[in-house]
C-alpha cells in the first residue's frame, strides 16, 4: 500500500478519498486554490498545498502545480476523484514520467474511452451492443443529412469529446438538423477545443442504466450491478438508485457479465462505468467513464464494499479483493444530489452557510464537505452534498429518503432539497415508472417558468 497519497480534487469527493486513505493508514495531501483555504478537505488531510488562484484552470487543472505538490510532499500516488483531471490521459502520462502512480486506469484506456467514437468502435468489437448511429465522425452537413435520412428522425448530434451533457443537440425532424449540427459543433469546439461530432438515433423513452465494473489490470474484472440514473435535468443526473427498478436478476447478470468480460479483455485497471440507454428490454452503449462516478455510493451500499479502498489497493499493486461470486445485492439504495441552487431555474447560489445539520440514523449516509460558517465559493460546481439512503426494499429506501430529507438543514443558501420533497409525492417516482425525459417534462409542468 502507498504511504502517502495526494488528492487532486476538492469538496465531498476529496473528503471521500481522504476517508478511505485514513482507514488504510495512508497519509493524505490535500491541494487547494486560494478560494478553498478554509475548505473541509484541507482541514481533514494530513498536509495541504495551495496550488493556485480560484479559477480551476489555474489550480485544480494545473498539472505543473500538482506535480510540484507531489514532489514537495513526497506523495507517491494521486487520486483524481471525478471531474477535473480524472479523465485526462496527458496528466496520467506526466505523472508516470515523474514516477508517480495515477489511481485509475492507464493513459491508453482513458484515451480510448475519452473519445466517444473510438469508445463505441471498441465496444462494438468487444461485443457490447451500441446505439445505432454513424459509423464514425460526421464531417459535413451533407453527410449528416444522408445518415439521418437513412436512420430516420429523431436523431441526436453528439460531440466525440463531449461530457457533462455538453455538445449534444437533438434534431426532431429534418428541418432541425442544420441548426443541431452547427450548434453541437460550435459548442463542442468552445468547450473541448474539438468540433468532431457523430450522430445517433434518438431514443424516445429509454432509461439510463449504467454498469459498475472493476478490473485488476491483469485480465480479471467483475461487475457490481447497475444504477438507474434516468432522472436527469439537462442530461445531468439528479437522483440515482440501485438496483434499477426495471432490471431483473437475469438481465443484470447478462449485461454485467458482458461488461466485465469486455473490460477484462482489454486489461482494464480500477473502477469504471459503462453507460447504456435501456429501452424495451434492450441495452445500447453510450459511453464509458474511466473513473469513480459521483453516484458510486449507491453501489457501495447495496454491495457493502468500499470502491475507493479497492482503487487504492489495485493501484498500489495489491490483489483485487472483489470476487464475482461473493458480490451479492442486499436491499435498495438511493442518492439525491443536493446542489446550492435556487429553484425554479436552478440558478447557482453560492454564499455563507449559517446552519448545517446533516441527517443521520440507520441507513443514512451524507457525503458532504459543508460546515456552518463555510462560504461556498462561486467558482466551482454547485454540488454541496450527496444524501444516500438504503432500505431493505425500494419502498423502505424511499420512506427513509423522505425522513432524512426532513432532517437536512442548510441555512444561508438555497438548495435543491425542495425538489426531492416534491418528487417523493409523485406516483411515478414511488413506483419507479420514469425514463430519461420524465424529469424535464415534470419540471416544465410543475417548477420551471
Ligand atoms: P455526457 O458524456 O455529456 O454525459 P452521454 O453520452 O453520457 O453524454 O449522454 C448523457 C445523457 O444524454 C444520457 O443519459 C441520455 O439522457 C441522453 N442521451 C445521450 N444519447 C442519447 C440518445 N441516443 N437518445 C436519447 N438520449 C440520449
In this predicted structure, what is the pLDDT of residue 162?
Answer: 87
- Residues with Cβ within 6 A of ligand 1? 131, 156, 162-165, 168, 200-203, 208, 232, 235, 275, 277, 286-287, 436
Q: Return the axis-axis angle of helices 107-114 and 116-125, rounded to nearest 10°.
A: 100
Question: Does the active-site annotation cover 291?
Answer: yes
How far apart (Å, rounded) are the C-alpha atoms in residues 113 and 100?
A: 22
In this predicted structure, what is the pLDDT of residue 163?
Answer: 84
How far apart (Å, rounded) are the C-alpha atoms in residues 34 and 263?
A: 39
**205 secondary structure, DSSP code:** S
Which mutation among 148, 168, 274, 285 tests ligand 1's pocket best, with the greatest number of atoms within 8 A of CB? Answer: 168
How far apart (Å, rounded) are the C-alpha atoms in residues 200 and 286?
A: 9
CB atoms near residue 219 (< 10 Å): 12
Q: Which CATH class is domain 207-446?
A: alpha beta
Q: What are phi and psi of 309, to 5 degrees?
A: -60, -40
CB atoms near residue 65 (< 10 Å): 18
Q: Whose CA is nearest to atom 18 of ligand 1?
A: 235
Cα 445 to ligand 1 centroid, rounded to whole Å:
22
Pull the grid cell for residue 140.
459535413
Cα 286 to ligand 1 centroid, rounded to whole Å:
7
Q: Which fold has domain 4-103?
A: Rossmann fold (3.40.50)
Pull the grid cell for residue 335.
442518492
How far apart (Å, rounded) are the C-alpha atoms in residues 209 and 232?
A: 12
Cα 54 to ligand 1 centroid, rounded to whole Å:
31
Where the chain has pLDDT below 70, the residues are: 448-449
CA atoms within 13 A on the CB side of 330: 8
Whether omega for the bond prior to residue 221 falls within 30 degrees of 0, making it cis, is no
Helix/strand/coil for 61? coil
How far apart (Å, rounded) are the C-alpha atoms in residues 20 and 4?
A: 12
Query: Which residues in 101-140 belong to E strands, given as ranges?
Result: 101-102
Nearest atom (ligand 1) to Cα of 204: 25
In this predicted structure, what is the pLDDT of residue 86?
Answer: 97
Whether the Cβ atoms of residue 224 and residue 154 lie closer than 8 Å to each other: no
Q: Whose CA is nearest to atom 20 of ligand 1?
A: 286
Nearest atom (ligand 1) to Cα of 289: 2
Whether the Cβ atoms of residue 322 and residue 214 lie closer than 8 Å to each other: yes
Report field, pTM of the whole predicted structure over 0.75: yes
Give the residues across from 341 on adjacent strands: 348
Q: Whose CA is nearest to atom 14 of ligand 1?
A: 208
Closest residue by Cα to residue 208 from 184, 170, 257, 241 = 241
Pull the grid cell for residue 89.
490521459
The continuous run of DSSP H or E covering 356 comes out as strand 355-357
Q: Spell out the domain ranges in the chain.
A: 4-103, 132-201, 207-446
- From 2.60.40.10, 3.30.390.50, 3.30.1490.20, 3.40.50.150, which CATH number describes the 132-201 domain? 3.30.1490.20
Pull the grid cell for residue 19.
476517508
First to last CA, the chain: 53
CB atoms near residue 366 (< 10 Å): 19
Whether the Cβ atoms of residue 361 and residue 389 lie closer than 8 Å to each other: no
In this predicted structure, what is the pLDDT of residue 448?
Answer: 67
Pull the grid cell for residue 156.
441526436
How far apart (Å, rounded) are the C-alpha atoms in residues 264 and 257?
A: 10
307-316: buried (b, 16+ CB within 10 Å) or exposed (e) per residue?
bbbbbbbbbb
Q: Which of 185, 207, 233, 291 is the catalytic position?
A: 291
**429 secondary structure, DSSP code:** H
Cα 115 to ligand 1 centroid, rounded to whole Å:
15
Radius of gyration of the chain (CA): 21
Amino acid at each position: 500500500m502507498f504511504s502517502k497519497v495526494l488528492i487532486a480534487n476538492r469538496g465531498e469527493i476529496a473528503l471521500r478519498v481522504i476517508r478511505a486513505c485514513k482507514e488504510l493508514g495512508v497519509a493524505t495531501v490535500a491541494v487547494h486554490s486560494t478560494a478553498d483555504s478554509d475548505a473541509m478537505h484541507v482541514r481533514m488531510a494530513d498536509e495541504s498545498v495551495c496550488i493556485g488562484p480560484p479559477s480551476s484552470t489555474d489550480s485544480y487543472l494545473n498539472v505543473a502545480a500538482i506535480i510540484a505538490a507531489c514532489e514537495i510532499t513526497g506523495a507517491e500516488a494521486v487520486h483524481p476523484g471525478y471531474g477535473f483531471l480524472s479523465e485526462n490521459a496527458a496528466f496520467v502520462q506526466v505523472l508516470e514520467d515523474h514516477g508517480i502512480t495515477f489511481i485509475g486506469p492507464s493513459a491508453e484506456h482513458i484515451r480510448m474511452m475519452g473519445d466517444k467514437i473510438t469508445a463505441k468502435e471498441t465496444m462494438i468489437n468487444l461485443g457490447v451492443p451500441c446505439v445505432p448511429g454513424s459509423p464514425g465522425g460526421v464531417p459535413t452537413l451533407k453527410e449528416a443529412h444522408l445518415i439521418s435520412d437513412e436512420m430516420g428522425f429523431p436523431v441526436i448530434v453528439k460531440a466525440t469529446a463531449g461530457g457533462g451533457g455538453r455538445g449534444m443537440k437533438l434534431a426532431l425532424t429534418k428541418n432541425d438538423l442544420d441548426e443541431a449540427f452547427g450548434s453541437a459543433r460550435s459548442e463542442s469546439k468552445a468547450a473541448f477545443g474539438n468540433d468532431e461530432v457523430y450522430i445517433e438515433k434518438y431514443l424516445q423513452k429509454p432509461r439510463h442504466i449504467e454498469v459498475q465494473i472493476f478490473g485488476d489490470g491483469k485480465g480479471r474484472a467483475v461487475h457490481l450491478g447497475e444504477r438507474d440514473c434516468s432522472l436527469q435535468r439537462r442530461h445531468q443526473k439528479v437522483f440515482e438508485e440501485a438496483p434499477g427498478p426495471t432490471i431483473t436478476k437475469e438481465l443484470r447478470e447478462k449485461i454485467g457479465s458482458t461488461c466485465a468480460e469486455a473490460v477484462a479483455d482489454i486489461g482494464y485497471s480500477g473502477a469504471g462505468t459503462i453507460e447504456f440507454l435501456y429501452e424495451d428490454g434492450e441495452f445500447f452503449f453510450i459511453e464509458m467513464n474511466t473513473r469513480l462516478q459521483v453516484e458510486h455510493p449507491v453501489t457501495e451500499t447495496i454491495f457493502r464494499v468500499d470502491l475507493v479502498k479497492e482503487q487504492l489497493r489495485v493501484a498500489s499493486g495489491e490483489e483485487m479483493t472483489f470476487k464475482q461470486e461473493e458480490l451479492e445485492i442486499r436491499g435498495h439504495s438511493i442518492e439525491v444530489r443536493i446542489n446550492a441552487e435556487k429553484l425554479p431555474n436552478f440558478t447557482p447560489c453560492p454564499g455563507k452557510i449559517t446552519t448545517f445539520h446533516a441527517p443521520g440514523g440507520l441507513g443514512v449516509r451524507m457525503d458532504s464537505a459543508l460546515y456552518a460558517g463555510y462560504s461556498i465559493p462561486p467558482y466551482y460546481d454547485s454540488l454541496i452534498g450527496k444524501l444516500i439512503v438504503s432500505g431493505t426494499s425500494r419502498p423502505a429506501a424511499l420512506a427513509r429518503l423522505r425522513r432524512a430529507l426532513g432532517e437536512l438543514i442548510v441555512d444561508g443558501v438555497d438548495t435543491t432539497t425542495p425538489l426531492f420533497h416534491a418528487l417523493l409525492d409523485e406516483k411515478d417516482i414511488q413506483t419507479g415508472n420514469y425514463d430519461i425525459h420524465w424529469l424535464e417534462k415534470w419540471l416544465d409542468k410543475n417548477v420551471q417558468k
